[in-house]
Amino acid sequence: MMQNPQILAALQERLDGLVGSPSGYMESLPKVVKRRVNALKNLQVKCAHIEAKFYEEVHELERKYAALYQPLFDKRSEIVRAAYEPTDEDCEWKQDEEEELTEEMKEKAKVEEEKKDEEKEDPKGIPEFWLTVFKNVDLLSEMLQEHDEPILKHLQDIKVKFSDAGQPMSFTLEFHFEPNDFFTNTVLTKTYKMRSEPDESDPFSFDGPEIMGCTGCTIDWNKGKNITLKTIKKKQKHKGRGTTRTVTKTVPNDSFFNFFSPPEAADFEIGHFIRERIVPRAVLYFTGEAIEDDDDDVSERHTSSVMK
C-alpha cells in the first residue's frame, strides 16, 4: 500500500498541511494547565525583552572594539593606496607547513618574480584592491556592471561607523574614493537604522537586532558621467498624421551605484554582509581565502541540517 504513488502523495499533502499547525495537544489540556502555560509564555516575553537589552550591550561592545580595529584598518588603507610602504618586517609571512617550499624552489620563485618586476612598471600600493574584492564575492559581483568597474578602481577604502552612545542603533558604510572623472564626492555613504526590541504584536519572533530602514546619499555626477541613467531612442507614430518621429528618453540603468539610492529589501543583506564580513576581512576576500571559508561554512551548515 505504501508503494502506491497516489497514497504517498495524499499522505505527503496531509503532512505538509500539519507543518506549523497546532497539534491539538494544547486544546486538549485542562483549563488550569492552560493558565500555567500562559504564565510561561508571559515569562518568555520578559526573556525576549532581556535578550533585546543584551543585544544593545553587544552593540556598545562593537562600538568599543571598532575603535581598536580602526588604526589597523587605516594602516591597511595606507598600504592599498600607496600612502605607506610596508617594511620587510611588515611583509614577512610565515607559511603553513603545507605551503613551505624547498630552498631551491624559493630561489627559483624569487628569480622569476624579480624578472617579472623588471619587465613591468612598479605599481603603486595594491591596484584594484576593492574592485577585486567585489568581483570575488558573489553577492557583490551580481550587482557589478562593466561600466561600474572603471569607477570602483578609484575606491580606496570602506569604513564602518557606528552610532554614538545613547543614540538609536545604526551603522554607516562609508565608501572613500580618490578624485576621479565621474563624480565630485570623496565619500559615498549608506546608513542602516536598527532596532533591538520585540514587536509587541509578535514578541516571540524576536531574534536579535533587525535593520528597519536605510538612507543613501546623493552622488554629484559630472556632466555625462551618470552611469545610473541611460538614454534610449524610441520611435513614436502620430495617430492623426501617420508621421513617425524619434523621441529621446532617459531611463534607469543597472549599476552598483544604485546601492546609494532608495533601498530595496535585499539591500539589507548586502549592507550587513559588507559590515560583518567584507570590511573586517577584506584581504582574505582579495586573495580568495575567505571565499573558501564561506563555502566550508555553507557545507558544514548543510551537512548539519541533513544529519538532523
Residue 13 lies in a domain: no
Residue 298 lies in a domain: no
Q: Is 117 helix (H, G, I), strand (E, B) or coil?
A: helix
Residue 11 lies in a domain: no
Residue 108 lies in a domain: no
| pLDDT < 70 regions, the chain | 1-23, 95-121, 238-242, 263-266, 292-308
Dihedral sign for Cα 207, 209, 215, 221, please: negative
CA distance 141 to 196: 31
Residue 172 lies in a domain: yes
The model's pLDDT over 208-245, given as tens digits with 9 standing for 90+, comes to 778 888 899 999 999 999 999 988 877 777 666 667 77
Domain count of the fold of the chain: 1
pTM given for the model = 0.75
Strands of 210-215's sheet in order across: 155-162, 170-177, 187-195, 210-215
The model's pLDDT over 1-34, given as tens digits with 9 standing for 90+, comes to 444 555 555 555 554 554 445 557 888 888 999 8
Looking at residue 282, what is its pLDDT? 96
Q: Is 186 helix (H, G, I), strand (E, B) or coil?
A: coil
Q: What is the dihedral of CA 15, 25, 34, 202, to 10 degrees?
A: -10
Q: What is the CATH number of the domain that holds 80?
A: 3.30.1120.90
CA distance 286 to 79: 14
Residue 136 lies in a domain: yes
For residue 220, give its domain range.
28-86+126-287
Cell output for 243 = 508621421
Residue 15 lies in a domain: no
Cell output for 116 = 617579472
Residue 20 lies in a domain: no
In DSSP terms, 157 is beta-bridged to 176
Looking at residue 120, what is its pLDDT? 61
